[in-house]
Amino acid sequence: MDSAVSRAVPGLRPRRALGVAIVVGVMLLQIATDLVAARETARILARVVFMSCELPLLMLALSTAFGWSLRHRVSAGKGILAGVAIATAFGCVFGLAYGGLMFEVPELRLHTPPANSSTVVVLRSALFGVLNAQMYFGLWALAVVYPFAVEGARVRDLEALELRTRAELARLRAHLEPHFMLNTLNAIAGLVTEEPREARRLLVCLGDLLRDTVQTQGDHEPLDKQIAWLRRYAQILESRHRGTLRFEWDVAPECGAAMLPRLLLQPLVENAVQHGALRRTQDGEGEVVVRVSRGADGSLVCVVEDNGPGMPDSDVRAGAFGLQAVRRRLELEAPGAELRLESTSQGMRSIVQLPLVVGEG
């Protein structure tokens, strides 16, 4: 097969070598069978000579046809028919040559023919050559084409999975970011008439948030950048719910460079505010605490905790999309990570634990 095809099909050259090795191995087994059966030396030598001439040419022809079918995107059925035709032609030619040689050297005959039956001898020799060539074609296809097809199917499955993953991530973000924007604008709208100066300040904060969101490159960002973003987001919420909501931050300095998916914690913070701190029925402010530290196993542990009513069974679906989105994003973007929910009479705790990956710079 030409080098262009070998370059276009990664791993094809080793597979082709494997196919040739398997066919040669079977040829040696056949010769060993003749030796064990104590057949005539002349017959064994003749078989070795003919197979040594036929097999390299047959392998070359099959490999060339296979490369041609790849370049021209020939269907599997046509490719098989081409291989069968090539094997038939080679088998017929070499079978006839072997049959002609048997007339000159009777010791090479595969069987004892009836008297005056030269035509039968030639036809049987041709049939023997065709069947033998088809057997080698089958072995070559099993050793070369089958692994190639399996590998190609695996690569296509991986590519399809990657496309599905990207599409799902895009869908999740398309839901999360407009949802955050709508809630933030509603928070500012409540201050436009009551406290226009505060509303203008919060609009500046919102502009900073949007600028950071648009300018962020890639699917992951450093923790310290995400915490800074959340702090500005918290300022908007604290101003909107002044006197009823406050935030506390406990972020270990050594975790600042850790990388995690963009906007991963925002749905947890929003869920803690909307379905936790703001639903507090006891006296005192609603509180949301964001803690980040390194776990005992070296992982990154992010905790978002509120002092609300917890999550009774009847309210499990409250804020479900945000929690489900975080869990699914962890599955897609941070293999090995997990999201745990702990609900008590003192409030709700969302815990994200994921492998600690430090970004460059």
Average pLDDT (246-256) is 94
Residue type, 24: V
* Whether 29 and 84 share a structural domain: yes
> Residue 8: pLDDT above 90?
no
Please tell me the predicted confidence (pLDDT) of residue 245: 92
Please check whether residue 172 lies inside any domain of the structure: no
Please tell me the predicted confidence (pLDDT) of residue 115: 47
Please check whether residue 212 lies inside any domain of the structure: yes
Q: CA–CA distance from 57 to each of 94, 277, 288 (Å)?
A: 11, 79, 77
Please check whether residue 319 lies inside any domain of the structure: yes
Q: Which domain holds residue 114?
A: 3-160
317 — pLDDT class (breaks 50, 70, 90): very low
* Whether 90 and 211 share a structural domain: no
**Residue 251's beta-bridge partner residues?**
292
Residue type, 238: E
* Whether 142 and 249 share a structural domain: no
CATH number of the domain encompassing residue 221: 3.30.565.10
* Whether 11 and 140 share a structural domain: yes
264 — pLDDT class (breaks 50, 70, 90): confident
Which distant-in-sequence residues (6+ apart) come within 8 Å of 331 by Cβ?
A: 337
> Residue 293: pLDDT above 80?
yes
Q: Is the pTM of this model over 0.75?
A: no
Please check whether residue 174 lies inside any domain of the structure: no
Please tell me the predicted confidence (pLDDT) of residue 54: 78
* Whether 224 and 126 share a structural domain: no
CA-to-CA distance for 179 and 158, rounded, in angstroms? Answer: 32
Please check whether residue 180 lies inside any domain of the structure: no
Q: Which residue has the higher pLDDT, 157 or 303?
A: 303
301 — pLDDT class (breaks 50, 70, 90): very high
The whole-chain average pLDDT of the chain stands at: 75
* Whether 129 and 11 share a structural domain: yes
The full DSSP string for 251-295 is: E-GGGTTBEEETTSSHHHHHHHHHTTGGG--SSS-EEEEEEEEE-
**Residue 249's beta-bridge partner residues?**
290
How many domains does the chain fold into?
2
Please check whether residue 269 lies inside any domain of the structure: yes
* Whether 207 and 131 share a structural domain: no
* Whether 7 and 152 share a structural domain: yes
Please tell me the predicted confidence (pLDDT) of residue 32: 77
Give per-residue pLDDT as tens, 194-234.
Answer: 778 877 887 887 777 777 666 555 678 899 988 988 898 88
Please tell me the predicted confidence (pLDDT) of residue 288: 96
> Residue 254: pLDDT above 50?
yes
* Whether 65 and 152 share a structural domain: yes
Please check whether residue 143 lies inside any domain of the structure: yes
40 — pLDDT class (breaks 50, 70, 90): low
* Whether 13 and 150 share a structural domain: yes
CA-to-CA distance for 68 and 82, rounded, in angstroms? Answer: 11
> Residue 111: pLDDT above 70?
no
* Whether 310 and 262 share a structural domain: yes
> Residue 331: pLDDT above 70?
yes
Q: Which of 56-70, 79-93, 113-127, 290-304 has the weakest average pLDDT? A: 113-127
* Helix boundaries (H) for the chain: 3-8, 12-36, 41-71, 76-104, 118-140, 146-192, 196-215, 223-240, 266-274, 320-333
Please check whether residue 288 lies inside any domain of the structure: yes
* Whether 87 and 226 share a structural domain: no
Q: Which of 184-188, 291-295, 303-307 has the weakest average pLDDT? A: 184-188
- The residue out of 119, 143, 160 marking a domain boundary is 160
Please tell me the predicted confidence (pLDDT) of residue 38: 61
